[in-house]
Amino acid sequence: MDGRPLQGASSVRGIGSYERGLLAGFAQLNHPPQVSLLLSAHQEPPAEVSIALRPSTRRIPVIHPTLQPIADIAFVASALRGSKADLYHAIEFGQPFRTRLPVVVTVHDLIPFVMPRDYPWVRRARVPGLRLIRRADAVIAVSDSTRRDVLRFTRTDPRRITVIPEGIAPVFRPASADAVQRLRAKLRLDRPFLFAVGTFDPRKRIGLLADVVSRVRRHHDVALVIAGDQGTFTQLVTDQLARAGLAEHARVIGHVTTDDLVALYTAAEVFVFSSAYEGFGLPPLEAMACGTPAAVFDNSSLPEVSGPAASMVTDGDAGAMAAAITLLLSDPVERERRRTQGLVWSATLTWRRAAEMTADVYRGAVER
C-alpha cells in the first residue's frame, strides 16, 4: 500500500485520514490483509509503522511537488520491481506505469478536472495518473459522485469500480463538558460560535462562508471559528472576512490537534460547510458524530454522504444557508432533531465496514 499519505502535509488532510482509518479497520477484521507501506525517502516513517504494519524496503524519491505525480509513474514501478506482494494499492494516484502485480487504486475525487480553471497546475500534473486509472485491476470510489466522475473522465469499465464510503474514526464523539470548557478557556472562546474547518482554497468558498455568517449575525451574536492551516490562502481568508465585516467576529486558529478538533465540533452551535465540491466530505460527518448539527450546500457527494441528517440548501444560496442556520439557532426542537439524526446517521459509517469491502476488492483483483 502507498503509505506516503501518512507522511508530511498529507497526514493531517483527508487523504491521510482515509488511509489511517482503513488501516484501523483492517486491524478489526478476523483475517486482515498483511500490509506493508511504500514510503517516501527523506521523510520519517509514520507513527502507524509497527511490527504488524511494516515499511517496504524500497523508498520513493522525493522531488518537486508539481513533478512528483508525473514521476511517481516510474518511481512506484521501480519500487515494486521484485516485490513479493500479491497486490499494490494506490491511495492517491501513485499508480505504476507497469507492474506484474494486480493494482487497486482509490479515487477520492477528480476535482482538478471537474474545476480545471481553479486548479490548472494540479490538473496538468495529474493527467498521466488520470489516464492510468482505467488500466487498474480494480477502482475504489469513495462515493457514487466520485464514481460518476471516474466514468466521465476516464471511461473505466464500470464493472471494475466499487463504491466504498469512508468511515468515522471512533475518536469523533461528543466531548465531555470539561473538555469543552478547557478548550474555550485555551482559545478564549467566550461566546457562541459557528465552526468551519479546512484549507480555504477556491473550492471551499471563503467569500460565501463570510457572506453567510454576516447574514446570520443580523439575528444572532455569534462568532466564526475556522480551523485548518490556510498556507498560501491566509491573506485571502483574512481579506474576505474583513470585507464581510467579520474582522472582530472571526478567529482563524490554524491546525489543531484531534482532541481540540473534537472539542471544537462539540462546542460549536452549528458546523457550516461552504465547499463547492467534495469527493466524500468527512467534516460534516465528524461534526454530526460529535453531536453538532451540520449545514451544507447541495452539491457533489454531500447529499449521499450527509444523508437526511444535515440541513441542506440550494448550492451557493447564501440567504438559504443563513436561514437554515438561523433556524437551528432559534428553534431548540429543530436543533435537537438534527442533532439526534446526525448521531444516528454518522454511526452507520464505520472503518471496519470500509475495510471489509476493501478486502473483498483485494481478493477479487487477485483472483482475476
Are 259 and 150 contained in the same domain?
A: no
Note the pLDDT of residue 342: 97
Are both 192 and 58 inside the same structural domain? no
Task: Assess if residue 296 is contained within a domain.
Answer: yes
d(CA 111, CA 61): 26
Residue 14 within a domain: yes
Please indicate, yes or no, whether residues 187 and 284 belong to a single structural domain of this protein: yes
Q: How far apart are CA 20 and CA 14, in angstroms?
A: 10
Q: Is residue 172 part of a domain?
A: no
Residues 94 and 215 reside in one and the same domain: no
The CATH number of residue 112's host domain is 3.40.50.2000
In tens, the pLDDT along 174-230 reads 999 999 999 999 999 999 999 999 999 999 999 999 999 999 999 999 999 999 999
Give the per-residue pLDDT at 118: 87
Pair 130, 222 in one domain: no
Number of domains in the chain: 2
Cell numbers of 265, please? 465540533
Give the model's pLDDT for residue 52. Answer: 66
Which segment of 28-37, 212-221, 260-269 scores lowest on mean pLDDT? 28-37
Range of the domain at 219: 177-346
For 204-240, b where at least 16 C-beta lie within 10 A, e where not — what string? bbbbbbbbbbbbbbeeeebbbbbbbebeebeeebeeb
| 243 alpha-carbon distance from chain centroid | 28
Of 104 and 55, which is predicted with more confidence? 104
In the structure, what pLDDT confidence band is assigned to residue 236 with cuts at 50, 70 and 90?
very high
Which residues pair with residue 110 across a beta bridge? none
- What's the pLDDT at 241? 97
* 59-63 contacts, C-beta under 8 A, 24 or more apart: 60/4
Q: Are 214 and 244 in contact (CB under 8 A)?
A: yes
For residues 150 and 236, state if they share a domain: no
Give mean pLDDT, residues 287-300.
Answer: 97
In percent, the amount of the chain with pLDDT more than 90 equals 83
Identify whether residues 99 and 153 lie together within a single domain. Answer: yes
Per the domain annotation, does 339 fall within a domain?
yes
Cα separation of 125 and 130, whole Å? 10
Q: Please indicate, yes or no, whether residues 195 and 154 belong to a single structural domain of this protein.
A: no
Which range, of 24-28, 65-69, 165-169, 241-245, averages the lowest pLDDT? 65-69
Q: What is the pLDDT of residues 321-361, one digit of tens each?
A: 999 999 999 999 999 999 999 999 999 999 999 999 999 99
Given a cut of 70, is residue 51 above it in pLDDT? no
Give the tens place of pLDDT for each residue, 114-166.
999 888 888 888 898 899 999 999 999 999 999 999 999 999 999 999 999 99
Please report how many Cα atoms fall inside a 13 Å half-sphere around the Cα of residue 163, on the Cβ side: 16
If asked whether residues 123 and 221 sit together in one domain, one would say: no
Residue 45 pLDDT > 80: yes
Nine cell digits for residue 342? 446526525
> Kind of pairing, strands 161-163 and 250-254?
unpaired
d(C-alpha 285, C-alpha 253), whole Å: 21
pLDDT higher than threshold 80 for residue 50: no
**Residues 217 and 354 placed together within one structural domain of the fold:** no
Q: Mean per-residue pLDDT for 23-51? A: 89
Top-confidence residue, 10 or 301: 301
This prediction has a pTM of: 0.93
User: What's the whole-number mean pLDDT along residues 303-328?
Assistant: 96
294 occurs within a structural domain: yes
Query: Would you call 295 helix, strand, or coil by DSSP?
Result: strand
Q: What average pLDDT does this structure show over 169-173?
A: 95
74: confidence class by pLDDT, cuts 50, 70, 90: very high
Q: Are 15 and 104 contained in the same domain?
A: yes
Give the span between the Cα atoms of 32 and 39, in whole angstroms. Answer: 21
CB 268 within 8 A of CB 225: yes
Q: Do 199 and 134 share a domain, yes or no? A: no
